[in-house]
């Protein structure tokens, strides 16, 4: 997976982090959603067959545990670092919020499709042929 860093412009009145959908995202986005989380709660815990997702922390700190057919990873996303994380298809992902009032913005390269979700971990292992 690949991390992306964003530009940040700061003045006394606050900060601005611009996003160009054409330049700053690793794919053409078709859907965007926000996930709000409380400390120690978990979201995700699934994979997608075809959908790529780009995770951008808006507020707070969260641990993203993810794995593909080759390896397992763990990354801390913190809105202060101005970095995002690209998750490719067939990547199992579990997000644990480390601070209260977390907000995670997710960009997707596909519209919502119920059939795209892999919600059973054993089924995921079969799909990626991991024993």
Here the CATH number for the domain that contains residue 118 is 2.60.120.10
Spatial distance between the Cα atoms of 74 and 29, rounded to a whole number of angstroms: 25
Residue 30 is predicted with a pLDDT of: 86
Residue 22 is predicted with a pLDDT of: 67
Q: Is residue 22 part of a domain?
A: no
C-alpha distance from residue 13 to each of 6, 34, 95, 98 (Å): 19, 25, 32, 28
Q: Is residue 75 part of a domain?
A: yes
Q: Is residue 84 part of a domain?
A: yes
Percent of the chain exceeding pLDDT 70 equals 86
Domain count, the chain: 1
Residue 130 is predicted with a pLDDT of: 65
Q: Is residue 7 part of a domain?
A: no
Q: Is residue 33 part of a domain?
A: yes
User: Structural domain of residue 78, as residue ranges?
Assistant: 28-127
Q: Is residue 21 part of a domain?
A: no
Q: Is residue 44 part of a domain?
A: yes
* Chain centroid, CA 4 distance in Å: 12
Ordered per-residue pLDDT tens for the chain, 131 residues: 555 677 777 777 666 776 666 666 777 888 888 898 899 999 999 999 999 999 999 999 999 999 998 899 999 999 998 889 999 999 999 999 999 999 999 999 999 999 999 999 999 999 998 65
Half-sphere exposure of 51 (CA within 13 A, CB side): 24
């Amino acid at each position: 997976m690949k991390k992306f860093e964003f530009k940040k412009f700061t003045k006394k009145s606050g900060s601005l982090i611009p996003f160009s959908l054409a330049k700053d995202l690793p794919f053409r986005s078709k859907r965007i959603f926000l996930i709000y989380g409380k400390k120690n709660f978990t979201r995700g815990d699934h994979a997608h067959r075809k959908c790529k997702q780009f995770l951008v922390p808006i507020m707070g700190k969260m641990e993203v545990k993810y794995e593909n057919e080759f390896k397992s990873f763990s990354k801390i996303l913190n809105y202060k670092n101005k970095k995002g994380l690209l998750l490719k298809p067939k990547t199992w992902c579990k997000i644990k919020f480390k601070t209260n009032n977390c907000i995670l913005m997710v960009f997707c390269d596909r519209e919502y499709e119920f059939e795209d979700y892999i919600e059973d971990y054993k089924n995921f292992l079969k799909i990626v042929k991991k024993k």
